[in-house]
Amino acid sequence: MTTASPGEPRWLSDEEQSVWRAYLHATTLMEDHLDRQLQRDAGMPHIYYGLLVQLSQAPRRQKRMTELAKDAKITRSRLSHAVARLEKSGWVRREDCPSDKRGQNAVLTDEGYEMLRRSAPGHVSAVRQAMFDRLTPEQMRSLGEIMQVVATGLQPEGTDADLPWLR
């Protein structure tokens, strides 16, 4: 249901190939760039940083594990490991959820918030330098639309809910 029907190998045109190569190239370099920048300036990979950002924007700087995993588009297992690591670093703390004894809240600590405050300018600057400072307003708008289309197409099948929301 997800992939090919045999017998009709519709290859990519030359232009499509070239766009695809550019896409892979650029996204690879970008991810490497940001991982390196954050590893250097904040001591953690990009995705971990993203988790802290999510927490910093949540109501009481905390979120249920499952919700956080969903918002960050990672598996719960991966999140468990990641939070364990962030806890060891002191940026996050776990708290039992009062209303559901199975639940855990990941809470951004003051140290975590402070770290975020310190490293955010550098990160924004890296993003801006790598992407926005190089694009015209038209290109920026266009990129937004395109990424929106692609994301929507890849969105977890169930159009509405969060049932098999990831893999």
Partner DNA sequence: TCTATCTAGTTAAACTTTCAAGAAAAGGTC
Partner DNA sequence: GACCTTTTCTTGAAAGTTTAACTAGATAGA
**Contacts to a copy of itself by CB under 8 A:** 2-4, 6, 9-12, 15-16, 18-20, 22-33, 36-37, 41, 50, 73, 120-122, 124-132, 134-135, 139-151, 153-155, 166-167
Q: Which CB atom, from 58 or from 79, has the smaller least distance to DNA?
A: 79
Among positive and negative, which fits the CA dihedral 102, 57, 84, 162? positive
Q: Which of 19, 25, 27, 36 binds DNA (CB under 7 A)?
A: 36
- Count Cβ neighbours within 10 Å for each residue of 79-115 and write b for 16 or more, e otherwise: beebbeebbeeebbbeeeeeeeeeebbbbbbeebeeb
Is 1 or 163 the residue whose CB approaches DNA more closely?
Answer: 163
Query: Which residue, 78 or 128, has its beta carbon nearer to DNA?
Result: 78
Give which of DNA, a copy of itself, none residue 130 binds (C-beta under 5 to 8 Å, depending on kind). Answer: a copy of itself
Contact (CB, 8 A) for 103 and 69: no
